[in-house]
């Protein structure tokens, strides 16, 4: 009989509950990870609310830190007991999308090899990591050993928000001396702020409505912060840049108003790097878009995954370049995950990220 474990399961819109589930079997290319720390993502809240549909009974969560419990028969190069993380996105490595450099759109198993968002499997199309154990597919492409010098919470941001936020800076093509505005300073936006600073931006401007987040934005590298609850963010950014506008604007919320503001502050020839998950059609204002003649670029990113990405992000943490650890504001046992969702979903008590330990 299968051994059982605790897992946070989507039951129906409004209900994610902790329940028993069999510990999964390990296929030849898989690895079973014993989860030691995980967290809740804004996307999980969308799932909780039924705004992003997943199958009933699915285990939620895509940000795992843990220990290898068991390796598939064809997996080499790892040992059981090793501390590892896996990215939120787990590319196969062998799909056409992966071989073409677009791993997050991994279409392994589909006819053509591309699938929109196909690399996002944990807590979306397969069981996730808000559980005692996690089955990692294509383990050799995805398991990244954690350096001994780093604790669980120090690498907890690597699987998703650090990778996502940094990709906003990377895809924006930030050059040394660029001016960058980051719209919204939730966990992703804060990481985008840190990533912009790390990429050589000469001036980083963080925008949000919450004083705690603006304070954290400064800590993550913003030179200026704009309280969009009190000021017109577009006007304020144009003032701060003396009318020049920004070279790169990063959208990190997923709303029309932030998307539009990001476009309005761009200089001609600038890039809008979008990270948000949009839930409705977007409008591009023709004026801000210079009728299509402004040499503007709008680029989108889904969190880069895979073991090499994780290795690089951990090396950045290890070198002390960023301290995202400060974003862990609350800690819960897995047994209390329902309370953690309650707190996180309502953004109570200044919560940024929670650490969940099974």
Touching a second copy, residues 32-91 (CB under 8 A): 73-74, 76-77, 91
The one-character DSSP state at 146 is: P
DSSP 48-84: HTTSS---TTPBP----EEEEEEE-TT--S--TT-EE
Contact flag: residue 130 with a second copy (CB under 8 A): no
CB 219 within 8 A of CB 208: no
Residue 73 vs 257, nearer CB to a second copy: 73
Map the footprint of a second copy across residues 88-127, applying CB under 8 A.
91-94, 96-105, 107-109, 111-118, 120
Contact flag: residue 345 with a second copy (CB under 8 A): no
Query: Is the Cα torsion angle 149, 187, 308, 134 positive or negative in sign?
Result: positive
CB 196 within 8 A of CB 205: no
Interatomic CA distance for residues 46 and 14, integer angstroms = 10
Residue 118 vs 358, nearer CB to a second copy: 118
Residue 23 vs 302, nearer CB to a second copy: 302
Contact flag: residue 18 with a second copy (CB under 8 A): no
Binding range to a second copy, per CB under 8 A, among 3-11, 17-25, 126-134, 242-250: 242-250
Smallest Cα–Cα separation from 189: which of 234, 241, 255? 255
- Figure out which of the listed residues 67, 312, 345, 357 binds a second copy, where binding follows CB under 8 A: 312
Contact flag: residue 147 with a second copy (CB under 8 A): no
CB 189 within 8 A of CB 183: yes
Contact flag: residue 326 with a second copy (CB under 8 A): no
Binding range to a second copy, per CB under 8 A, among 57-65, 228-236, 286-294, 340-348: 286-294
- Give the SS3 label for residue 123: coil
Contact flag: residue 132 with a second copy (CB under 8 A): no
CB 85 within 8 A of CB 151: no
């Amino acid at each position: 009989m299968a051994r059982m474990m605790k897992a946070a399961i989507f039951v129906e819109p409004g209900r994610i509950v902790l329940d028993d589930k069999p510990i999964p079997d390990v296929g030849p290319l898989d690895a079973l990870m014993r989860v030691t720390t995980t967290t809740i993502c804004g996307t999980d809240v969308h799932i909780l609310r039924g705004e992003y549909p997943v199958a009933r009974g699915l285990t939620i969560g895509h940000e795992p830190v843990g220990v290898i419990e068991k390796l598939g028969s064809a997996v080499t190069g790892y040992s059981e007991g090793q501390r590892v993380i896996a990215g939120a996105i787990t590319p196969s490595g062998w799909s056409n999308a992966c071989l073409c450099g677009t791993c997050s759109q991994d279409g392994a198993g589909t006819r053509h090899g591309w699938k929109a968002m196909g690399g996002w499997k944990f807590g979306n199309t397969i069981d996730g990591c808000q559980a005692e154990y996690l089955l990692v597919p294509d383990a050799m492409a995805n398991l990244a050993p954690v350096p001994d010098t780093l604790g669980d919470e120090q690498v907890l941001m690597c699987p998703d928000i650090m990778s996502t936020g940094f990709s906003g800076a990377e895809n924006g093509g930030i050059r040394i001396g660029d001016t960058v505005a980051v719209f919204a300073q939730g966990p992703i936006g804060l990481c985008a702020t840190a990533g912009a600073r790390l990429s050589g931006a000469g001036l980083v401007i963080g925008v949000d409505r919450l004083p705690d987040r603006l304070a954290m934005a400064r800590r993550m590298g913003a030179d200026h912060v704009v309280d969009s609850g009190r000021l017109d963010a577009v006007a304020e950014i144009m003032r701060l840049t003396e009318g020049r506008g920004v070279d790169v604007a990063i959208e990190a919320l997923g709303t029309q108003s932030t998307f539009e503001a990001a476009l309005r502050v761009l200089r001609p020839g600038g890039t809008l790097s979008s990270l948000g998950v949009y839930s409705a059609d977007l409008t591009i204002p023709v004026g801000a878009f210079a009728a299509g003649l402004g040499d503007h670029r709008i680029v989108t990113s889904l969190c880069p995954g895979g073991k090499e990405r994780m290795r690089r992000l951990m090396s950045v943490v290890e070198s002390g370049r960023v301290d995202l650890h400060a974003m862990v504001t609350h800690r819960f046992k897995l047994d209390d995950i329902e309370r953690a969702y309650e707190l996180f979903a309502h953004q109570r008590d200044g919560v940024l990220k929670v650490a969940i330990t099974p």
